[in-house]
Amino acid sequence: MTEVNQHQMPLRHVIDNAEKAIQVAKDAEMAVRHAQIDSNPQKLASSIDQLETAMRTVQQAQSQIHMQEIEPNQQVLKQVQEQLTQAEQSLDVVLGNSEQPKQMR
């Protein structure tokens, strides 16, 4: 049997979490875009919450990747890390573009 440190997760689990995080990010972006198209403030607020949750999920997945021993699996982890970074950057852009101006009364 191979000894595994408790703080390390099996590689496949880390990659699966990262792929799920990327999908959550894509879904959140789409929700924001649909809310913007519909011009629905409640839907937009909900989708922005979803977007912020997606951001945390992406950041957690990145953290899990950083905790792995990179050497034997470097290429696979590097590709997943790049995808997570792209997802995070995309979420930042969508979040920045979805800020609602204060209504003047």
In a domain, 34, yes or no: yes
| CA–CA gap between residue 72 and residue 69 (Å, rounded) | 8
The neighbour count for residue 12, using CB atoms within 10 Å, is 9
Question: Strand, coil or helix: what is 76?
Answer: helix
In a domain, 102, yes or no: no
Residue with tokens 């629905």: 40
Q: What percent of the chain lies above the pLDDT cut of 90?
A: 35
pLDDT of residue 3: 47
pTM of the shown model: 0.71
48-91 per-position pLDDT tens digit:
999 999 999 999 998 888 877 655 667 777 888 888 989 888 88
In a domain, 53, yes or no: yes
| CATH number of the domain where residue 20 is located | 1.20.58
In a domain, 37, yes or no: yes
In a domain, 3, yes or no: no
Q: What percent of the chain lies above the pLDDT cut of 70?
A: 80
In a domain, 6, yes or no: no
| Domain that includes residue 84, residue range | 11-96
How many domains would you assign to the chain? 1
In a domain, 44, yes or no: yes
- Residue 103: pLDDT band (50, 70, 90) is low
- Residue 42: pLDDT band (50, 70, 90) is very high
In a domain, 55, yes or no: yes
